[in-house]
Amino acid sequence: MDLTDENLRVLLDNKLVIDCPKIKLIQQTDNDPLIYSGPGSIIQQPDGNLQLKLYHVGSENPFGLLERELCIEPGLIIGREYFFSMEAEDIKGGVWTSEYLGVRNADGVSNLRTGAAVYNVKINSLSFIEKLHEGQGGNSKYLLMVLPGKQAIPCNRYEEISGVKHSLNTSAFKALGADVSIKSKESYLVVEVNDEGGVMDESFQPRLLEALNIAFGRSCQVLYSLYVAEGQRTVVLKSVLRSTQESRVESAVPHIHPNHQESFANFISMYMVRFRSCHDVFYGYWHKIYSAWQSANLEIHSLALCTCIEGITKHYFSSYGTPEEGLVKEADNAKEAIKQAKIGDKIKNRLLSNLGSVQKPNPKNALYNLAKEQVLDKVMVDSWVKLRNKSAHADKLGEHQEEIQKHLNHLWKCLSLFYILLLSEIHFAGLFQDLSKTGWPIRNFGEPSEGAALEKVEEN
């Protein structure tokens, strides 16, 4: 499926229909799999979901799906054998495939007398692979993605139409030696990657998306992607819900004005240099924060943010939290004294447990040591300690505006702390939006902060 202007408009309007004379659903098991086959269509629903409609006529057990569902044990992970793979041949002879389709008994309407049935099945991801002619494409690789949703980007290049400069709507830069172009349209982004050296691997696309998600503070969904490499072109279509209201996480990477372009490009590039595999721990924690932001509850935001900062600190900066050698020795001596003390076993075990925790790397100590080295502002760490204590002990947030504002001040400082840990880890250099300061000023990362600090909140 080529991404012509007409096909793109059909996809964006949720009106795609692929008619298929031959469709086969095969249960993902080697042990006597259920198979349903017949003609049908792949239809893009008004909400953006892709759905298969299959007209099945055959001798397959009409109760097979129901029997399979009755074998599912509640509370356990559903195995792959309860799902189906799909092969669908369109009217041009192209073959579309998909896996892990949840075909349920309730999705079908059956006639037990004739054996005929109609199944309506949701498809999350649909793939089409085409072999290229020998020598076509060479060693170069190419990636194209369409990301629905209006998004501001820092532009440094004009789009040309028929050789004439049309509009300044493109951000172009290099990442891992490949030429990346992000074009902003009215209601979607077009991302193109040209890799003449052929170094782009399968993790390039998800890592690029991760970096864009963090920079934009949102989850960019891929409606259409085309990947050309190693003698074949792969098209992937995905279900993308358009009606979902998304709450964005405030970003520390400026990405609106053309002056932001160099910093934006540096963040994307350095993120991909540092994290060579997709779904790194850092991105996992950012996504937890993003997921928490989909709630309107500030307490949920705070708890998720504080625990994510603790997790990041343990994973990447634990060496900064190692206790001093003298303290460890004193704790060992204290343990021996407590063991000999004539006190109850319960209090003795509690004291020994507390001393044991003193000897382990501590995220709080790590953050304060990073502040001593001027990686962080100590005020941010103070806010994290206060917000973490309130969140962990389920202290209820009051309804007075002043109290809510103080809570928000802590929250913004903690979010800025999370971003500083990330930017420090990838050795970012460029403009940075400091969420810990009044007005969220934009400054060069690593330079002393400017502007008035948000009011420190007295510890309750």
Query: Looking at the domain assignment, is residue 459 inside a domain?
Result: no
437 and 309 in a common domain: yes
Query: Looking at the domain assignment, is residue 206 inside a domain?
Result: yes
Backbone conformation region of residue 143, classed left if phi is above 0, alpha if psi is from -120 to 50, else beta: beta
Task: Please name every residue paired with 130 in a beta bridge, in sequence order, or none if there are none.
Answer: 233
- Give residue 381's identity as a one-letter amino acid code: V
103 and 79 in a common domain: yes
Q: From 259, 277, 295, give the residue that closes a domain.
A: 277
Number of domains in the chain: 3
193 and 112 in a common domain: no
114 and 24 in a common domain: yes
Query: Looking at the domain assignment, is residue 267 inside a domain?
Result: yes
Q: From 66, 94, 128, give the residue that closes a domain.
A: 128
Query: Looking at the domain assignment, is residue 334 inside a domain?
Result: no
59 and 154 in a common domain: no
Say which CATH number the domain at 103 has: 2.30.110
**Exposure string over 286-314, b if 16+ CB within 10 A, otherwise e:** bbebbebbeeeeebebbbbbbbbbbbbbe
Query: Looking at the domain assignment, is residue 331 inside a domain?
Result: no
272 and 292 in a common domain: no
Query: Looking at the domain assignment, is residue 348 inside a domain?
Result: no
Q: Rounded distance, CA 332 to CA 196, Å?
A: 60
Q: Rounded distance, CA 217 to CA 257, Å?
A: 16
Query: Looking at the domain assignment, is residue 270 inside a domain?
Result: yes
Q: From 218, 252, 277, give the residue that closes a domain.
A: 277
292 and 265 in a common domain: no
Query: Looking at the domain assignment, is residue 68 inside a domain?
Result: yes
Per-residue pLDDT of the chain (460 residues; tens, 9 = 90+): 778 888 899 999 999 999 999 999 999 988 888 888 899 999 999 999 999 999 987 755 555 665 666 677 888 888 888 899 999 999 999 999 999 998 876 666 655 455 678 888 999 999 999 988 776 667 789 999 999 998 999 999 988 776 666 789 999 999 999 999 999 998 899 999 999 988 898 899 999 999 999 999 999 999 999 999 888 999 999 999 876 678 899 999 999 999 999 999 999 999 999 998 888 899 999 999 999 999 988 889 999 999 999 999 999 998 887 766 666 677 767 777 888 787 887 887 787 777 666 656 788 889 999 999 888 899 999 999 999 988 776 667 777 888 889 989 999 999 999 999 999 999 999 999 999 999 999 999 976 553 333 334 333 4
Domain that holds residue 428: 284-322+361-444
Phi and psi at residue 319, to the nearest 5°: -60, -25
77 and 65 in a common domain: yes
207 and 295 in a common domain: no
Given a contact cutoff of 8 angstroms between Cβ atoms, the answer to whether 152 and 91 are in contact is no
194 and 267 in a common domain: yes
Q: Rounded distance, CA 283 to CA 289, Å?
A: 10
What tokens appear for 145 in the block?
């993605």
162 and 94 in a common domain: no
Phi and psi at residue 140, to the nearest 5°: -70, 160
123 and 152 in a common domain: no
